[in-house]
Amino acid sequence: MEVFIPGLFLFFVAIAISFLLVPRFTPLIVAILSIAFLVVAVRQHYKMFQDEYRLSTWQDSLKVYAPAIMIISIILFIIYFILSIFTKGAVPVPSLPEITNASPNSTTNNIVESLNTVANSLGDVTSNIVSNVNNVINQVNNTVLNNNKNKNNNKNKNLSRSFLEVL
């Protein structure tokens, strides 16, 4: 019970700090605090497991410095990147190509030519459609006339009538 209450109190203090203070920190403060916590955690870990590190080989002792080396290299890369962006002081803007307006006569000539082409093609299409429709109407008329002649001949031969003839 003696260990539980201080740990629980520390847990609630950490929650309060996380929700009340940390969102108000700037990114620079967060970066500095994270580096400080990492250094403290590595030191504490090395102090706690000092005997194991002493008994291991010399290559294993270099593993301790790997996070620090990575963090330092990332920070240097970010600083180099920021400096490379802002050292020139001006944002490069590509030059725009020169835009020239076409003369009104050439524009209207192109439009008139396009309209003439459309009108000619529509005239050809409509004449084709009209001739096709006339052909279809003639075929329908011929078949109807032939059917009527056949019906008249069939009326004389058969005494029965179809339902449609009665109506």
Kindly state the tokens that stand for 101. 């307006």
For the residues 49-65, what does the mean pLDDT come to? 77
Task: Measure the CA–CA gap between 153 and 44, rounded to whole angstroms.
Answer: 117
- Record the pTM: 0.30
Residues 12-43 have pLDDT tens digits of 999 998 889 888 888 888 889 899 999 999 99
Task: Measure the CA–CA gap between 67 and 44, rounded to whole angstroms.
Answer: 15
For the residues 55-72, what does the mean pLDDT come to? 82
Q: Which pLDDT belongs to residue 38?
A: 92
Q: Which three-class secondary structure state does DSSP give residue 63? A: helix
For the residues 64-79, what does the mean pLDDT come to? 90
When the pLDDT of each residue in the chain is averaged and rounded to a whole number, the result is 78
For the residues 42-63, what does the mean pLDDT come to? 81
Domain boundaries, the chain: 9-78
